[in-house]
Amino acid sequence: MLPELERWFVRTFEQALPLITDDRLREDVRGFIGQEAKHA
Nearer to Fe ion, 11 or 39 (CB): 39
For residue 39, state whether it binds Fe ion (rule: CB under 5 A): yes
Minimum CB separation of residue 16 from Fe ion in Å reads 17
Minimum CB separation of residue 21 from Fe ion in Å reads 26
Sign of CA pseudo-dihedral 34, 36, 39, 40: negative
Q: Provide, for the chain, the percentages of residues in helix, strand and coil under a 3-state DSSP scheme, each rounded to the nearest 5.
A: 90, 0, 10
SS3 1: coil
For residue 11, state whether it binds Fe ion (rule: CB under 5 A): no
* Contacting residues toward Fe ion, per CB under 5 A: 6, 36, 39
